[in-house]
Amino acid sequence: MKIKKLKLFTAKLEDEKEFFANNLGFKLVNSGENFFSVKVGWSELMFQSSAVDHNYHYCFLIPSNKLKEALIWMEERVKIIDIEKGRKIQHFESWNADSFYFYDASGNLAECIVRYDLKNETDTPFDVSQMLCVNEIGLPSNNIIKTNESLSKLFKTSFYKGDTERFGTNGDAEGIFLLPNYNVKQNWFPTNQKISLEPFDVQIEHEEHEMSYSFNK
């Protein structure tokens, strides 16, 4: 599953534009009075102006041999979240993955992740062009089984990893919906940021089919 387009909403549009286009250096794809979008590998990430704040968690995929190099590169541009006593990298054994976290200009929790199963190593020095895609988007739910079934029917995807009580996922290593049960799991790891269902639009490519959908509160 590939996340081809993801539209989020922000009350700090100009700050986000400065953060992504100028601070991190993503290529600006489109821009208007109330929106802008940047190219993230095979994905397009868009922010649209909103009158209210929103609270997202999303993730960028990077090559599997570039974690530490990416961390150094990002630390020159944004504060990386301290997970525990100076440790900034989290290992996920069951996912065969490592990641680090930071906040964007709206205060959304963003993440960079390497997934070793994808074997997408590169010898090119790390820069923003090695952000391969938007890899995850949080879709909180009070019924993981029901939400997974809806996603599977809509996008022809399937349950990926996790469980159906606290924290599940739908998709595959290239693109994932994160499905925390917000009645059981209160905060996005590794922060105190509250998990809440927020509106977003997404376009998915899976098994040679593309489908767009709007998720609303």
pLDDT of residue 110: 98
| 18-71 confidence digits (pLDDT tens) | 999 999 999 999 999 999 999 999 999 999 999 999 999 999 999 999 999 999
CA angle in degrees (0–180, nearest 5) for 64-204-217: 110
CA atoms within 13 A on the CB side of 9: 14
From the list 138, 141, 131, the residue with the least C-alpha distance to 171 is 138
Average pLDDT value for the chain: 97
pLDDT of residue 43: 98
DSSP code per residue over 149-187: HHHHHHHS--EEEE-SSSEEEEEETTEEEEEEBTTT--B
**Is 215 within 8 Å of 3 (Cβ atoms)?**
no
pLDDT category of residue 17 using cuts at 50, 70 and 90: very high
| 132-162 confidence digits (pLDDT tens) | 999 999 999 999 999 999 999 999 999 999 9
pLDDT of residue 200: 98
Task: Please tell me the distance from the alpha carbon of residue 212 to that of residue 205, in angstroms, as a whole number.
Answer: 9
> Has residue 217 got a pLDDT over 90?
no
pLDDT category of residue 12 using cuts at 50, 70 and 90: very high
Task: Please tell me the distance from the alpha carbon of residue 107 to that of residue 4, in angstroms, as a whole number.
Answer: 23
pLDDT of residue 122: 96
> Has residue 9 got a pLDDT over 90?
yes
Number of Cβ atoms within 10 Å of the Cβ of 163 = 12
> Has residue 80 got a pLDDT over 80?
yes
pLDDT of residue 73: 98
CA atoms within 13 A on the CB side of 200: 27
Question: Where are the chain's structural domains?
Answer: 50-215
Task: Please tell me the distance from the alpha carbon of residue 127 to that of residue 180, in angstroms, as a whole number.
Answer: 31
**Is 201 within 8 Å of 215 (Cβ atoms)?**
yes
pLDDT of residue 49: 98
E runs forming strands in 33-158: 35-40, 43-49, 57-61, 90-92, 97-103, 109-115, 133-138
pLDDT of residue 167: 98
pLDDT of residue 86: 93
CATH number of 50-215: 3.10.180.10
pLDDT of residue 194: 96
From residue 189, alpha-carbon distances to 49, 110, 134, 174, 216 in Å are: 26, 11, 18, 21, 23
